[in-house]
Amino acid sequence: MKCSECPLGAFAIYSPTFLKSPSTLCEARRDVLNVRAQQLILRSGEAPEFVYTLYSGWAYRFIQFPDGRKQISGFLIPGDTIALESLFPSENLQFSVRALTDVVLCVFETRFMQEILLATQEQRRVVAATAFSYMAETERRMATIGRRRAIGRIARLALDLDARLRLRGLVNDDGVEFPLKLDHLANALGLTQAHVSRTMIRLKQRKLLETRRNHMRILDRRALEIVADEE
Amino acid sequence: MKCSECPLGAFAIYSPTFLKSPSTLCEARRDVLNVRAQQLILRSGEAPEFVYTLYSGWAYRFIQFPDGRKQISGFLIPGDTIALESLFPSENLQFSVRALTDVVLCVFETRFMQEILLATQEQRRVVAATAFSYMAETERRMATIGRRRAIGRIARLALDLDARLRLRGLVNDDGVEFPLKLDHLANALGLTQAHVSRTMIRLKQRKLLETRRNHMRILDRRALEIVADEE
DNA sequence: CGCTTCTTTGAGTTTGATCAACAATGGTGG
DNA sequence: CCACCATTGTTGATCAAACTCAAAGAAGCG
């Protein structure tokens, strides 16, 4: 695969550099890695050696508790950097990342990526904006989990994912790719799988969204937003 | 107040610069602001004009819902920067910050602070580390809210705050300053004030911690950690 | 001392968890 | 193309944690 033809380069964290000179990224890229669904990509407690970006497939970032429970703190979609934390030599990771589907990763030399991302004003701005936007999303999800009931939590997550996927152009016939199982939703939203099932059925009955196979479609965005804000 | 004598400079985000040349900060400082308890410091939707750091008192960062509920996403203690987001000209804020007690703020020229914080490798490292550490704390709190019951959530918050306050030296006779009311705990942990009250009483009965006036003391740290991890 | 702000407590209700079984779905290989 | 298997989703019964609403106490402050 040539970086110069990458359809995601314009959305990645290195987009300013990519748009100016795609070949720079090819030089920084060490490898392209295939990872099977369910495999760990980053392990809590370690310090990642490379910077990875997601070329295809989904992954999720999660915190594992001693008793086996887990909380998914975010989903990663094509174009996302696996963990901005890996860019800087600070502490070890406090979370893990697991492939949700089969995944293809681009592997970059950390040192090289640091240089690219700090090189220009514009690049630094994009890095900061990406970090703050992830921060904002995490805070909003915390608020949703803390203060909304099941139906509002699911509505909000559906809207957020839909928006992000659309920005990346990952749309098919008026809906988006959607490999999440009830279990993922449950672990991301502080609910149980059984309860997510019941609640999804309510959302479908109210004609707010539908899911089939690996696909989700929002049927009434306005109404769904009201549910997310008020229920 | 002279910056050179500031006891918090060594803990602030500009600590490398401060330790080398305290006067640099005096030059960047525009003002010292007194803010009363309950006043808003930053408003959601706006773009802050200056960079503020907390010289004394506590504040909290929160998201307000249309229906009046709110979620506190973090507490700010002396030495903290009010919002790293204000450093970079990205989008508008998605959260607000309110003074929890009477507060004294140092007000810095944004442009000047940017220069200081990007000037050296060491400064950039500290900025990144601060951002990632706040990120990690937010993710861990999300996990706690999503996957722990009331007693574990309170235990975890008490431990986290205690640790942060101790790092800053804000300790008095084996306990820490603690101006939080039940309502703040409730809004930070996704609970109601009534339920926090009942749960705190259980923690006190089990001799894990005590609170009087504006003060909290952890009586059995080991046991409290077990509660935070497993209950 | 009186007022305001916080905390405690109670009764009744609701949401969501738990445990468990069963149904549907989508591959896979024969 | 069908039978089989693994995975995922649905459903029911029961229970517990936490919420709501409300009122009474306690504590702190001027």
Q: CA–CA separation, B145 vs B119, rounded Å?
A: 38
Taking every pair of Cα atoms in chain A, the longest distance, rounded to a whole number of angstroms, is: 52
Query: How many Å does it take to go from CA A102 to C1' D30?
Result: 68
DSSP assignment string, B157-182: HHHHHHHHHHHTT-EETTEEE----H
Interface check B131 vs A, CB under 8 A: yes
Bridge partners of residue A171, in order along the sequence: A176
Whole-number average pLDDT of chain B: 94
CB atoms within 10 A of CB B120: 13
Q: Dihedral, CA atoms, A175, A178, A183, A185, nearest 10 degrees?
A: -60
Per-residue pLDDT tens, chain A, 231 aa: give them.
678 888 999 999 999 999 998 888 888 899 999 999 999 999 999 999 999 999 999 999 999 999 999 999 999 999 999 999 998 877 799 999 999 999 999 999 999 999 999 999 999 999 999 999 999 999 999 999 999 999 999 999 999 999 999 999 999 878 999 999 999 999 999 999 999 999 999 999 999 999 988 999 999 999 999 999 998
Q: CA–CA separation, B42 vs B39, rounded Å?
A: 9
Position of tokens 């098919």?
A: A172
Subunit contact B129:A91, Cβ cutoff 8 A? yes
Q: Does A190 touch chain B (CB under 8 A)?
A: yes
- For residue A85, give the 3-state DSSP assignment: helix
Residues in chain B closer than 8 A to A186 (CB atoms): none
CA distance A56 to chain B (A): 25
pTM over 0.85: yes
**Residue B87 to residue B114: CA distance in whole angstroms:** 6
Kindly state whether A140 is in contact with chain B, defined as any CB-CB distance less than 8 angstroms: yes
Sorted by sequence, the CB contacts under 8 Å of residue B32 that are 6+ apart come out as B1, B55, B104, B105, B106, B107
Start-end of H helices in chain A: 15-20, 22-28, 110-119, 121-147, 150-167, 182-189, 193-205, 221-230
Report the side by side order of strands in the sheet with A40-42.
Answer: A40-42, A96-99, A59-64, A70-76
Interface check A131 vs B, CB under 8 A: yes
- Cα gap A3→A112, rounded to integer Å: 15
Q: How many angstroms separate the CA atoms of A226 and B7, rounded? A: 48
Distance CA B19, CA B11 (A): 10
Find the CB nearest A65 among B87, B147, B189: B147
Q: Which residues of A touch B230 (CB under 8 A)?
A: 66-67
> How far from chain centre, in Å, is Cα A90?
22
C-alpha B70/C-alpha A146 separation (Å) is: 9
A38: left (phi over 0), alpha (psi -120 to 50) or beta: left
User: Is B140 an 8 Å CB contact of chain A?
Assistant: yes
The 8-class DSSP code of residue A58 comes to: -
Strand C contacted by A190 CB (< 7 A): yes
How far: B181 CA to C7 C1' (Å)?
9
Q: Which nucleotides of C are covered by protein (CB under 7 A)?
A: 6-11, 15-20, 25-26
Residues of chain A with C-beta less than 8 angstroms from the C-beta of B66: 229-230
Averaged pLDDT for residues B114-127? 93
Query: For residue B143, which residues of chain A lie inside 8 Å, CB to CB?
Result: 63, 65, 70-71, 73
Burial label for B165, CB within 10 Å (0-12, 13-18, 19+), is buried
Q: Is residue A102 within 8 Å of residue A40, measured between CB atoms?
A: no
Nearest-by-Cβ selection for A138 from B125, B139, B189: B139
Cβ pair A132:B89 closer than 8 A = no
Dist CA A224 CA B13 (whole Å):
41
Where does the pLDDT of residue B26 fall: very low under 50, low under 70, confident under 90, or very high at 90 and above? Answer: confident
**Which chain B residues are Cβ-neighbours of A85 within 8 angstroms?**
132, 135
With a pLDDT cut of 70, the percent of chain B lying above it is: 99
Distance B56 CA to C3 C1' (A): 29
Q: Is the pLDDT of residue B139 over 80?
A: yes
Q: What is the pLDDT of residue A19?
A: 92
Q: Which residues contact A111 (CB under 8 A, 6 or more apart)?
A: none
pLDDT at A24: 87
Radius of gyration of chain B (CA): 18
The C-alpha atoms of residue B99 and residue B57 are separated, in whole angstroms, by: 8
In chain B, what are the helix, strand and coil shares in percent, each to the nearest 5? 45, 25, 30
Whose CA is closest to A77, among A47, A97, A107, A49? A97
* Three-state SS sequence of A166-209: HHCCCEECCEEECCCCHHHHHHHHCCCHHHHHHHHHHHHHCCCE
Give the model confidence (pLDDT) of A126-159 as tens digits: 999 999 999 999 999 999 999 999 999 999 999 9
Q: How buried is B115 (Cβ within 10 angstroms: 0-12 exposed, 13-18 middle, 19+ buried)?
A: middle
At B203, the amino acid letter reads L
From the CA of B167, how many Å to the C1' of C17?
Answer: 38
